[in-house]
């Protein structure tokens, strides 16, 4: 698969994965995630409209698998279909996944937005920042 096709594929995958993670974090939208007909239709449309060569989705709700669907090809050149065991490249997903994990922890009351960072990462307890130089050219470090 060429680099440009991989980028297009990864962008398409991200456009599908991000809304799923966002909806998973918002309980009021949970019924949309567990409607297999709606998910099937969305996946089929992504492939039929030729936006993606292949796509798959797996949804868990409260620890149980409630949906799995795969459409299109995992590899166009080999005419290999998407399956449950297809390995997919996922680029630049660290921040969205971490963000959703943090939103879920926040909803559960695991932390407060105004908690000091040092409460969870003690190495930041005595952090100093650059505030200029003294008369001898040495850096002046102060608490933020």
Task: Name the residues annotated as catalytic.
Answer: 92
Tell me if 7 sits within 8 A of 15, measured CB to CB.
no
**Alpha-carbon dihedral 101, 22, 18, 71, rounded to 10 degrees:** 110
Q: Quick one: tokens of 115?
A: 């908690």
Can you tell me the distance from the alpha carbon of 120 to that of 125, in angstroms, rounded to the nearest whole number? 10
């Amino acid at each position: 698969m060429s680099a440009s096709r991989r980028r297009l594929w990864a962008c398409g995958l991200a456009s599908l994965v991000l809304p799923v993670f966002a909806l998973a974090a918002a309980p009021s939208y949970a019924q949309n995630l567990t409607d297999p007909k709606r998910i099937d239709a969305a996946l089929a449309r992504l492939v039929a409209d030729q936006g993606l060569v292949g796509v798959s989705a797996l949804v868990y709700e409260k620890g149980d698998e409630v949906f799995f669907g795969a459409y299109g090809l995992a590899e166009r050149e080999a005419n290999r279909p998407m399956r449950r065991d297809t390995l997919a490249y996922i680029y630049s997903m660290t921040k969205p996944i971490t963000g959703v994990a943090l939103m879920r922890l926040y909803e559960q009351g695991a932390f407060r937005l105004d908690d000091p960072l040092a409460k969870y990462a003690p190495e930041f307890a005595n952090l100093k920042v650059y505030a200029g130089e003294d008369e001898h050219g040495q850096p002046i470090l102060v608490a933020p």
